[in-house]
Structure 1
Amino acid sequence: MIILPAIDIKDGNCVRLKKGDFGTVHKVSENPFETAKSFKAAGAEWMHMVDLDGAKTGQRPNRELILKLIKESGLNVEIGGGIRDMDCVRDYLENGAARVILGSAALENKEFVKQAVAEYGDRIAVGIDAKDRKVATKGWLNTSNVDFIDFAKEIEQLNVKYIIFTDISCDGMLTGPNFALLKELQNAVSCNIIASGGIRDIDNISELCKMGVYGAICGKSIYSGTLDLKEAVKIGGLQK
């Protein structure tokens, strides 16, 4: 299982939120470059990044910082937040990103997803963020009427190979991921599932490994010290 330590960028800073609430934003690192360096030193080979400003507004004010982080980190980086058209997809993938994450745009524009997958294949992931089972969009500010399982099945039909699933109620809370919803998602589709939100400690990592999910995104647990990244990478095993 791949361990993906996370960096969320807002206003150029490395931050974390609780349950996606922008009112809870707090800086967790003075220097995102040093943070990425520490991830690599701990043995991580991947990094998950989100442009929170992009997710909220569709603009990408942190683009230059993100591209520099991708270039200098020495890690495989998956990036999401504000990727609403093919120009954004190409910009990130042709400037060093290993994978891009489509979120709001994937729900609103299936043709965009088809085009992205046709052009870049398994370098395209879709983020499914659920609030009371319903898919949330626009940086989690809006909630649709679409059930997350129904959406996942639609995404699978578009040949998307990677789904990043977050139960918003768990995100940033260090209460553990929603194992029940993750299992339901695993049973519903054949996509590679990356678990995100709520991971607290090495026991959570071990449980996710047993479930056979493809990856686990760890953010607040690393910054707060409840999870040792080096140990998590070791437990996760082979990086891909």
Structure 2
Amino acid sequence: MVILPAIDIKDGNCVRLYKGDFSTVHKVAEDPLETAKRFEADGASFLHMVDLDGAKDARPQNADIFIEVAKNTSLKVEVGGGIRSLDTVEHYLRHGIDRVILGSAAVKDPIFVKEAVKEFDDRIVVGIDAKNGMVSVEGWLDSSSVHYLDLAKEMEKIGVAHIVYTDISKDGTLEGPNLNQLTRIKQAVSCNIIASGGISGIGDIRALKELGVYGAICGKSLYEGTLDLKEALQAAAE
């Protein structure tokens, strides 16, 4: 299983939110590049980065930060937030980003997702973020009438290889991931599932490993010190 430390960017700062609520934003680290280098030094190979301003504004706002991290570390960086065009996808991939995450676009513009997958194959990741099983869009500010399993199946048909699944009610809570929903999405599709939201400690990493998901995104737990990255990487590799 792959462990992906997370860096969320708002106004150029490393921040965390509670359940995706922008009013709860708080700074968790001084410098994105230094934070990424710290994760790299601890043995991480992957990094999950989110443009929170981009997600809210439906266009990239912090692209230079992500590209700087990709250029100055050996980490495989995946980026999401506000990506709505093939030009943006191509810009990121051409400048050292390993994978691009499409979220709201999966609901609002599946044809764009299909074109992106056709052109860039498994470098396209789809992010499915749900509240009470229903997909949220536009930086989690809007709800849709789409069930997370229906969207996952649609993305599988398009040819999407990787899905990041987040239960918004768990995100930033340190209450543990939603193993029930993760089990259901894993059984529903053949895509690689990356678990996001709620991971608190090493027990959660072991539970996700046992579940057989492809990857686990760890954010608040690393900043709060409830999870040791080296220990998580070791447990994931066992």
TM-score, normalised on structure 2?
0.99
Give the secondary structure class of the aligned counterpart of 2:170: coil
- In structure 1, how many angstroms separate the alpha carbons of the residues matched to 2:194 and 2:107? 18
Structure 2 spans left out of the alignment, 5+ residues: none
RMSD of aligned alpha carbons: 0.8
Q: Is the 8 A contact 2:5 2:39 kept in 1?
A: yes
State the 1:34 CA deviation. Answer: 1.2
Counterpart for residue 35 of structure 1: 35
State the 1:61 CA deviation. Answer: 2.1
Counterpart for residue 163 of structure 1: 163
CA deviation digits over 1:10-35, x for unaligned, max 9? 00000000000000000000111111
Amino acid at match of 2:93: L
**1:144 and 2:144 matched:** yes
Amino acid at match of 1:190: S
For 1:1-240, list aligned pairs within 5 A.
Answer: 1-237=1-237
Give the secondary structure class of the aligned counterpart of 2:140: coil
Give the secondary structure class of the aligned counterpart of 1:169: helix
State the 1:150 CA deviation. Answer: 0.5
Give the secondary structure class of the aligned counterpart of 2:177: coil
State the 1:73 CA deviation. Answer: 2.3
Amino acid at match of 1:207: A
State the 1:64 CA deviation. Answer: 1.3
State the 1:199 CA deviation. Answer: 0.2
Amino acid at match of 1:91: H
State the 1:65 CA deviation. Answer: 1.6
State the 1:164 CA deviation. Answer: 0.2
Give the secondary structure class of the aligned counterpart of 1:8: strand
Question: Which deviates more from structure 2 when the two are superposed, residues 60-69 or residues 111-120?
Answer: 60-69
Question: Which deviates more from structure 2 when the two are superposed, residues 182-191 or residues 54-63?
Answer: 54-63
Work out the number of aligned pairs and report it. 238
State the 1:60 CA deviation. Answer: 1.9
- In structure 2, how many angstroms separate the alpha carbons of the residues matched to 1:170 and 1:38? 26
- In structure 2, how many angstroms separate the alpha carbons of the residues matched to 1:206 and 1:110? 34
CA deviation digits over 1:60-79, x for unaligned, max 9? 22111221112112200010
Q: Percent identity?
A: 59
- In structure 1, how many angstroms separate the alpha carbons of the residues matched to 2:37 and 2:67? 15
Q: Is the 8 A contact 2:59 2:84 kept in 1?
A: no
**Structure 1 consecutive aligned stretches of length 4 or more whose deviation exceeds 3 Å:** none
CA deviation digits over 1:123-158, x for unaligned, max 9? 001000001100000000000011000110000000
Question: Which deviates more from structure 2 when the two are superposed, residues 54-63 or residues 202-211?
Answer: 54-63
Give the secondary structure class of the aligned counterpart of 1:157: helix
Question: Which deviates more from structure 2 when the two are superposed, residues 75-84 or residues 56-65?
Answer: 56-65
Amino acid at match of 1:22: F
- In structure 1, how many angstroms separate the alpha carbons of the residues matched to 2:152 and 2:77? 23
Amino acid at match of 1:42: D
- In structure 1, how many angstroms separate the alpha carbons of the residues matched to 2:59 and 2:159? 27
Q: Is the 8 A contact 2:197 2:217 kept in 1?
A: yes
